[in-house]
Amino acid sequence: MASSKKLSDYIDAIAFKYLSAVDTSPARSNQHEVRSQQIKKVLGDPGSDTKIFNATFIYLGKDIDNPARDESTVSWYDTRSGNPHRSQECALYYRDNLVTELMSEGDLFLIMKKTDRSLLIIIVPSGTSEEQRIKWLFGIDSGSRKEEVVAFQIHNETEIGFSERYILEELGVELEEIDDNYLDLILSKFGGCFPKTKEFSMFARNIFKNDCSAIDDPDHAILTFMNGEELLFRTLENHLISQHITTGFSDTDKFMEFAKSVLNRRNSRAGHAFENHLEQIFLDHSIKYSRGKTTEKKSKPDFIFPGTDQYQLAKENEELRQYLTMLGAKTSCKDRWRQVTKEAELIQLKHLVTLEPGISRDQTEEMKRNNIQLVVPTKIQDSYTSEQKKWLNTLSDFIKLVNTRQMKF
């Protein structure tokens, strides 16, 4: 298997509530308190002491491209400590900061204790993709709209795959997704440098091909290949970064330049790897296609089925246009899905395959209005609502569609 890490390897417990108007209106001292015995499941019993925790506050707002963050401390104590005649009443106290200034009534407020005992306090507006993803990741009941605090220990034994990793990294949880058992094999194949993405994708498929069947279950196969390549890439990346750190940097600018190149490589490689693995799955199913070819003007869709030759033919034969299919491939959509609407103008309904979990209902409704049909692997569809799942296509559904259409040419 590509990964053996579980959610419980990184997170001990969480507590959450939906904020009331009182919660978002601090007193003059700019202080906030959440009072609940439930939080003892996360922070333990404070006893007669005041426990201080370092905490990272994160706001995942729908109008903010990069999550707002702030570092602070929180206090956990019994407000009735020293009074033997009254029962314990625990409270979490925190001061106003950059993140709390952004929160509003109805937002999801989540306290997360990681296995290293550090805290993440996450504010998420209701109705957003971020809220939907977090609820899926932690198994939060969709009916949880009460203002009281709910808390529980994390005993999730599901392996962390591409989608779980996507959410955790968005939350700022650093994952140690490497396996040095593969390092010698990687170095013997490619040496001490990053290979071309297409070569690395093929290398990953060869290693993990026995864990799946692209013919029998393409939805499982695409996740197996993506998870496997991510593991191998992070293993190689960790090795090469360690060498750079050992050598050192001449100044801060050199270090920042190196760090930026690491992030850019990760993002660019993941997108290309996704297309590479999709391409191989299409080949395994004997599907005809063109990848990254021009259809008109400067438009270059990720995939055209059965190909750009047939696309050009359909420009003169309107009857054939109904048998054309285009597919955009984006590991995560965010606002970039709108790019697909401007591609392959002969094709009215455009398909978009993604690995992004829990896209909000508002966003998928907007996709529908713009004639976008979303394709999501079966496992990731569990992060969508039951109504959304009725509309979604699986990768297997999409393959059946293009197989049928290509016979018309």
Q: Is the dihedral of CA 395, 399, 402, 405 positive or negative?
A: negative
Give me the catalytic one of 77, 94, 289, 311: 311
Which tokens in the block code for residue 220?
């499982």
What is d(CA 151, CA 13) in angstroms, rounded to the nearest whole number? 7
Assess whether 311 carries a catalytic annotation.
yes
The three-class DSSP label of residue 330 is strand
SS3 per-residue string spanning 344-397: CCCCCCEEEEECCCCCCHHHHHHHHHCCEEEECCHHHHHHCCHHHHHHCECHHH
The three-class DSSP label of residue 72 is strand
* Residue 66, Cβ density class (10 Å: 0-12 exposed, 13-18 middle, ≥19 buried): exposed
166: Cα within 13 Å, side-chain hemisphere: 25
- Using alpha carbons, select from 206, 215, 44 the residue that is nearest to residue 119: 44
Which tokens in the block code for residue 19?
């904020």
Q: 150 near 144, Cβ under 8 Å?
A: yes
Which tokens in the block code for residue 393?
């296509």
**What are the residue ranges of helices labelled H in 293-338?**
308-316
β-pair type (119-124, 150-153):
unpaired
Would you state the torsion angle of the CA atoms of residues 194, 195, 201, 202, taken in this order, to the nearest 10 degrees? -140
What is d(CA 231, CA 229) in angstroms, rounded to the nearest whole number? 5
Segment (H or E) for 161: none
Which tokens in the block code for residue 120?
């993440």
Cα 137 to the chain's mean position, in Å?
A: 10
Segment (H or E) for 202: helix 197-208
Residues with active-site annotation: 311
